[in-house]
Amino acid sequence: MASLSTASLSFKAPSTRISQVLRKASSSQSMTFGRFSSSKSLRLQISCAAKAETVQKVSDIVKEQLALTADTPLTAESKFSALGADSLDTVEIVMALEEKFNISVEESDAQNITTIQEAADLIEDLVQKKPAEETA
């Protein structure tokens, strides 16, 4: 079963048809989900939703790196560029995240990080992939 809003598509149960739906979504102008039908362009976002603790740590690092005040509101969807970060700031954010979480982010992955959520998701993925002896 899938639910659709204007910003995201979420699946409640694993399905082998997810890739088929996404291929159709990326190649067609019109899609139908149950009773919902649209002929407009749809933007799909699939998120693995990192832990709230990881999102908070990333938010704290972003605030520190960008010299934002403690009361600056940040959400998981906050874009670095909307917070005033340029490419150098983004590199410094990634370096601070690498140091804080004891991970190494590939350049290709670093270039794709634009929001706090994307950073948190990548961090959790990298931490999970670390060999057991490194995390001990």
Catalytic residue among 86, 89, 109, 121: 86
In the numeric block, which tokens belong to residue 130?
A: 């670390």
Q: Is 86 labeled as catalytic in the residue annotation?
A: yes
28: burial class by Cβ within 10 Å (0-12, 13-18, 19+)?
A: exposed
CB 97: neighbour CB atoms within 10 A?
23
Please check whether residue 43 is in contact with residue 25, taking contact to mean a CB–CB distance below 8 angstroms: no
DSSP at 96:
H
Catalytic positions are: 86
